[in-house]
Amino acid sequence: MQASKAQVMLVDDHPLMRHGMAMLINLESDMEVSAEAGDGEEALATLKAGPHPDIVLMDLSLKTVSGFEVIKSMHSLIPALPVLVVSMFDEMIYAERALRAGARGYVMKLEPGRVLVAAIRKVLKGNFSLSDKIQARLLNRVATGNSESELISTLSPSEFEVLHLIGTGHSSRQIADLLNRSIKTIETHRYNVRTKLNLKDAADLIRYATHWIREEH
């Protein structure tokens, strides 16, 4: 008798990305996509309705709410549910934050399909799945006590995303487009980041964000 396949749920706001991942996963003999969602609210509603998947593949950039917040909400709903982040965002900036939100692994979208499939299997076995590069970074931080700065850790998930995008040279308009938020919302986040990081003006914020990105790399 053939063992049942692991049930995989996809959460990504790009239908083509979900379609591509579903095709890849459904080719495997031991896993299949059983549910899809285009945003955080839909994902949580699907989980509440059941049945629960064995693993969730989760993007961080969603239309209505940060992926970090969705991961936390998923774990409030189903504490043991494993979540694997699949994102275009640089793992050197986002992986640690994702793990602290409750993710069990991180795969960048530029990786080949075999890396994603291997990560799914690893997480399903109860392990963490991270690249060698980010594992070395995180172990070094633990050994030296040099974790994410205390001030940056006070930022909300959305504020953290905005700080990163400022540091990579994006304007408020570009950030709004990337995160599917209004300009007003992005400007509010910028103001909150400046306040929490004790920065006096926009130029100070850009300098800080740019320096932080360089340090992280």
* Tens digits of residue pLDDT in 15-69: 999 999 999 999 999 999 999 999 989 999 999 998 999 999 999 888 777 888 8
Whether the CB-CB separation of 53 and 124 falls below 8 Å is answered with no
- How are strands ordered across the β-sheet holding 6-11? 31-37, 6-11, 55-58, 83-87, 105-108
Nearest to 167 by CA among 134, 216, 133: 216
The structural domains of the chain, with segments of one domain joined by +, span: 6-142, 152-216
Full-model pTM: 0.78
Highest mean pLDDT among 88-92, 111-115, 162-166, 167-171: 111-115
**Residue 189, both tokens:** 């986040």
Give me the percent of the chain exceeding a pLDDT of 90: 55
Bridge partners, 135 (sequence order): none
Bridge partners, 11 (sequence order): 37, 58
CA distances from 76 to 44, 72, 119, 210 (A): 10, 6, 23, 35
Selected from 1.10.10.10, 2.60.120.510, 2.102.10.10, 2.30.42.10, the CATH number assigned to the domain covering 152-216 reads: 1.10.10.10
Same fold, 6-142 and 152-216: no
Architecture per CATH, domain 6-142, reads as 3-Layer(aba) Sandwich (3.40)
**How do residues 172-186 score in pLDDT, each as one tens digit?**
999 998 888 899 999
